[in-house]
Amino acid sequence: MRQKAVRVNINDVAAVAGVSKQTVSRVINDRPDVSPETRKRVKEVIEQVGYRPSALARSLTSKRSYTLGVVIAGLKYIGPSTLLNGITSTAEEAGYCLILKELPSFVYDDIEPIFEELISRQVDGIIWGVSEVGENRKRLKKLLFDQKIPLVYLTMEPKKHITVITENNYSGARLAVTHLLEQGYQRVGFLSGPLEWWEARQRFKAWKDVMSEAGMEIQDTQWVTGNWSSASGAVSMKKLLEQYPEMDSIFVANDQMALGAMQVIHEKGKRIPEDIGVVGFDNIPESAYFWPALTTIQQDQGRVARVAVEELIKIIESGWKGLDPVDPHSILLEPTLVVRRSSSRFQD
Amino acid sequence: MRQKAVRVNINDVAAVAGVSKQTVSRVINDRPDVSPETRKRVKEVIEQVGYRPSALARSLTSKRSYTLGVVIAGLKYIGPSTLLNGITSTAEEAGYCLILKELPSFVYDDIEPIFEELISRQVDGIIWGVSEVGENRKRLKKLLFDQKIPLVYLTMEPKKHITVITENNYSGARLAVTHLLEQGYQRVGFLSGPLEWWEARQRFKAWKDVMSEAGMEIQDTQWVTGNWSSASGAVSMKKLLEQYPEMDSIFVANDQMALGAMQVIHEKGKRIPEDIGVVGFDNIPESAYFWPALTTIQQDQGRVARVAVEELIKIIESGWKGLDPVDPHSILLEPTLVVRRSSSRFQD
DNA sequence: CTGAAAGCGCTAACAT
DNA sequence: ATGTTAGCGCTTTCAG
């Protein structure tokens, strides 16, 4: 006598409770039209036999999976993983499950299979959490032209007819450069991220704008680019120190590169902030413990994530309830400046 | 005339191709018993009408979802997110999709709903990627006693009858302490992680063992604990410097705390590595750019993830194919020592 | 308030 | 090599 390991299903519950499976269905869906006694009995049976509805079967018939697809890249970096952290907790609270897809790289092009897989698993909506890099949105646009699945984008240039949630990189970077000028620094260099990245371009533009608004002409010797890593920060900083020896301060486009840059400054025997002031971007948890502690721009990725999931669910559920469709719109969140010792030239 | 946005399904394809849906099913599953001409025709129709099979429906009937459940905690930290990064890419290559569940904290206790949700979505197997902390495995064990779903655990004490993939924290920490002694340091302090963590206990034990094997008696003044964060590293280091002023070197249980500790050492005007040698643990990417560059223990979380997914899929697929069941077993991966300046007292 | 019938989109197990 | 029948476990629709 072999014990078949079959899970209890709705029919079993119905049989034991002596009702039809529709009634069981009504109970598990909290529908009103069940008499209190029946409901109670069914619930007891459910408890007793350990019945758990199959989310799969429910999704198949009801066309709602309560599942969101999340597409992301670079999970091993702090930005994307913090973002994902915020997405998981907000989705969980709202009762949604997550299917995760990580692209092999930021500029990965073959995204059609990704979408098809998510759609074939009937996700109710998609969060596109891959930063805008190079042309990596182009195929996306084409692909989604006739897709009508709810979709929210993160970290890209806000555009008409789509929903984008992002930090305002431009205004954040303006805070950084303005702060250095206010501290009395005059010759502010710039260590940029790769300019294929939208975020990097925004930060670059802010540096240029603030400097020229302050009456300084930007030279090409006054900035260099890295690839966001500490290693590249070190390499690029060496180069910049050579080509712009008068530099008295620097805005670095992320904290990791700032760390590499600071190591080089130490090695050259210069003092931070006395000889060179440094401001980073992102406020990673470690930056408060750099030597010296790093002034930086605080991005609240958790908030981006939360808002994104909330917006996505709004779009999804307005569709279900036959409400007016939610108009596509973008939300820009404002970063803040965190002042620490690396830019505080005139403090004790 | 309203355009109903119904996706093309297997019946539509069958109708257009003039075959039964069974034949279409055979084609999309690459079954052998279809004539080449029929196969070709069906494929053409599929292409032409843009048919994509519903993964949901397939899972429901076939009892295989090609989906893995991943349970993890602390995604905003570098360890878990690197782990997840490795899991996504290995699963993707193997043709499996991921459902992600992040616990609100490492010692979260209410894990039953998590499992039920994963099982109700018919995952083929589960990766439990939450480090062993306090009693957070106790309920798990009870819960899974009669569950027969394939399951692989990460980062915990290997035990009989289950499959565990983990770094060997003990041997890694031995490398660290031994290295300091070999460099000629004598009074090696220890900055521990929270001892509720299995990993922390392993590293602690290694420090004690190596020191006593070298003939030194451990005093309680010679070590302190932090909570893995840089902030706690700074606080605890201050305390340790006071209670153990003769200390000439320190093994810190992770790189983040080492960063905080180093900031404090600088502030006290001591030199690294001349006055105090420092060794960390994890080899986070930034550690090579600390000031000075940090000697540390390299954990290959990517490899842990890869092995874990591969083992899980082996278990799953051996079940499908009716092969001999894979015996539960554990795999310990060996970390390595990365020497940098923070512990190199006798180098230029 | 409850139930019967139909079907979601697919595959398994038999036919032929 | 192909088709038929019967589901998977649930919800929807309609009847009563």
Do A120 and A112 contact (CB within 8 A), yes or no? no
What is d(CA B254, CA B181) in angstroms, rounded to the nearest whole number?
19
Q: Which nucleotides of C are covered by protein (CB under 7 A)?
A: 1-5, 7-13
C1' of C11 to CA of B81 (Å): 37
| Same structural domain, A260 and A186 | yes
C1' of C2 to CA of A24 (Å): 11
| Same structural domain, A127 and A246 | no
**For testing contact with chain B, the best of A282, A286, A287 (most B CBs within 10 A):** A286
| Same structural domain, B189 and B276 | yes
CATH (domain of A86): 3.40.50.2300
Whether residue B60 and residue A78 make contact (CB cut-off 8 A), yes or no, is no
For each of chain B's 348 residues, which pLDDT tens digit applies?
Answer: 233 456 899 999 999 999 999 999 999 999 988 899 999 999 999 999 999 999 999 999 999 999 999 999 999 999 999 999 999 999 999 999 999 999 999 999 888 899 999 999 999 999 999 999 988 888 777 777 566 899 999 999 998 889 999 999 999 999 999 999 999 999 999 999 999 999 999 999 999 999 999 999 999 999 999 999 999 999 999 999 999 999 999 999 999 999 999 999 999 999 999 999 999 999 999 999 999 999 999 999 999 999 999 999 999 999 888 777 888 999 999 999 999 999 998 754
Residues comprising chain B, all counted:
348
| Same structural domain, B121 and B194 | no
Do A261 and A225 contact (CB within 8 A), yes or no? no
Residue of B188, B263, B254 lying closest to B227 (CA atoms): B254
Do A195 and A228 contact (CB within 8 A), yes or no? no
Whether residue A290 and residue B263 make contact (CB cut-off 8 A), yes or no, is yes
| Same structural domain, A194 and A289 | yes
Could you tell me if residue A162 is inside a domain? yes
| Same structural domain, B312 and B163 | yes
Whether residue A119 and residue B52 make contact (CB cut-off 8 A), yes or no, is yes
What is d(CA A105, CA A79) in angstroms, rounded to the nearest whole number?
14
How many of the other CB atoms lie within 10 Å of CB of B182?
9
Residue of B177, B245, B251 lying closest to B212 (CA atoms): B177
A211 to chain B, minimum CA–CA distance in Å?
29
Could you tell me if residue B157 is inside a domain? yes
3-state secondary structure of A26: helix
**For testing contact with chain A, the best of B254, B291, B299, B340 (most A CBs within 10 A):** B291
Domain end, chosen from B19, B34, B62, is at B62
**Structural domain count, chain A:** 3
Do B232 and B257 contact (CB within 8 A), yes or no? yes
Could you tell me if residue A348 is inside a domain? no
Pairing of strands B249-252, B277-279: parallel
For each of chain A's 348 residues, which pLDDT tens digit applies?
Answer: 233 456 899 999 999 999 999 999 999 999 988 899 999 999 999 999 999 999 999 999 999 999 999 999 999 999 999 999 999 999 999 999 999 999 999 999 888 899 999 999 999 999 999 999 988 888 777 777 566 899 999 999 998 889 999 999 999 999 999 999 999 999 999 999 999 999 999 999 999 999 999 999 999 999 999 999 999 999 999 999 999 999 999 999 999 999 999 999 999 999 999 999 999 999 999 999 999 999 999 999 999 999 999 999 999 999 888 777 888 999 999 999 999 999 998 754
Could you tell me if residue A3 is inside a domain? no
Could you tell me if residue B4 is inside a domain? no
C1' of C2 to CA of A285 (Å): 59
Q: Which are the contacts of A204, defined by CB distance < 8 A and separation ≥ 6?
A: A173, A190, A192, A195, A223, A253
How many of the other CB atoms lie within 10 Å of CB of B325?
10
Domain housing B90: 67-167+301-335
3-state secondary structure of A276: coil
| Same structural domain, B162 and B310 | yes
HEC profile for A308-328? HHHHHHHHHHHHHCCCCCCCC
Kind plus residue range of the DSSP H or E element containing A120: helix A112-120
Chain B residues close to A282, C-beta within 8 Å: none
Could you tell me if residue B291 is inside a domain? yes
Whether residue A75 and residue B53 make contact (CB cut-off 8 A), yes or no, is no
| Same structural domain, A153 and A274 | no
How many of the other CB atoms lie within 10 Å of CB of A22?
12
